[in-house]
Amino acid sequence: MKRVAITGMGVISPLGNTVTGFWENILNGKSGAGPITKFDASKFKTRFACEVKDFNPEAYIDKKELKKYDLFTQYAIAASDQAIKDSGLDFTTMDESLLAETGVIWASGNGGIGTFEEQLREFHAGDGTPRFNPYFIPKMIVDIAAGVISIRHKLRGPNYCTVSACASSNTAIISAFDTIRLGKAVIMVAGGSEAAITASSVGGFGAAQALSKHNDDPQKASRPFDKNRDGFVIGEGAGALILEEWEYAVKRGAVIHAELVGGGMAADAYHLTGTPPDGSGAALGVSKALKEAQVGTEKVGYVNAHATSTGLGDMSELQGIKKVFGPIPVTVSATKSMTGHLLGAAGAVESIISILSLKHNIIPATINTEILDEKIPEGIEIITGKYVERPLEYVVNNTFGFGGHTATSVFKKA
């Protein structure tokens, strides 16, 4: 099996639209939450979100082309362009044979949901005559971001989309990892994007009792592991990674940010939206990832938890972690307390946090958590308040999705 290097990163997020700015805000414990501006949410029970701020698509996309792309694809283009630039790869001068060995696996849970809403509103507001935008379908379909990235850079290797709800982008990264390990590609662009701060999305998650209603103080609403947590804060954005066959990255003199050494995927097989209280699905994914990475639990310095700030979900995940680590102490934090829950993009954005944690020997904090839930298993240390500096060799990144999807990745210091 081939080794896999991470050589590029790019991000569009509620906490910044560059990796440097994003990481600085993570270290400063900043919240990306605020009142919803994407639509009129005044009649909704939840009226806040973690929106992307100051995004200028024309910095990446020609103004004439913008009409072809839903916002989730615009985010995907921006984050992937950043990651490609960071990697030092130049696809414009790359040999055709290598372009055929360079692919894209890009994820989204909701795809062009904003476009879908817009087109249906226009249809129902009219006289019933079907006057749909010719770009409606290609803007909406969930696989289109992967296709656009491929077309944009003439990448002719494996190209597809993964959809596993909020585990989608971690699934994409693991799939890209497997593709390189098996020798089916040399370079992969992988990640995910989401632009689902829309009326139907916020309304739907709200109806499912999944969203926080902390409207009086949005910045403190996302509080994973806190006794008084009341649901997640929806977010948007994109995260992109460049994965390369290790030998190729070394040969071309690339800066290697980290090594991806394991990926575990499993299923809760339990419930449409809930996770089993005993954390059995989470435990299976984590144990598979560590087994593939050939890493003992005692070497894992940090688990970046999925922890969305829902009552049952947070504790289920910790029970799963406890099943795997047993008596071995484990350090955990939940960066969704700052970013909000980026749904299908969460795994990619949190992979970037995991990689930066390894590079800088820093464990980010869980902000807003004031009273730790008394049901937190013994031996699990939750980092709250402010980040801590510790030597790190391996970091685990967890993601879970509606439908019982579990995806866990393991990163190693380069």
The type of residue at 269 is A
Note if 50 is an active site residue: no
Residue 15 CB neighbours (<10 A): 25
Q: Reduced to 3 states, what is the DSSP secondary structure of residue 18?
A: coil
DSSP 210-269: -B---TT-GGGT--TTBTT---B-BB-EEEEEEEEEHHHHHHTTPPP-EEEEEEEEEE--
Closest CA to 191 of 304, 82, 112: 82
DSSP 352-373: HHHHHHHHHTEE--B-S--SB-
Note if 166 is an active site residue: yes
50, 161, 166, 214: the catalytic one is 166
Q: Reduced to 3 states, what is the DSSP secondary structure of residue 303?
A: strand
153, 214, 257, 341: the catalytic one is 341
For the record, the structure tokens of 334 come out as 């939940």
Closest CA to 201 of 140, 136, 116: 116
214, 257, 306, 405: the catalytic one is 306
Note if 153 is an active site residue: no
- In angstroms, the CA 406 to CA 383 distance is 23
User: In this structure, what are the phi and psi dihedrals at residue 258, rounded to the nearest 5 degrees?
Assistant: -170, 170
For the record, the structure tokens of 345 come out as 């993009």
Cβ contact 89:8 at 8 Å: yes
| Catalytically active residues, by annotation | 166, 306, 341
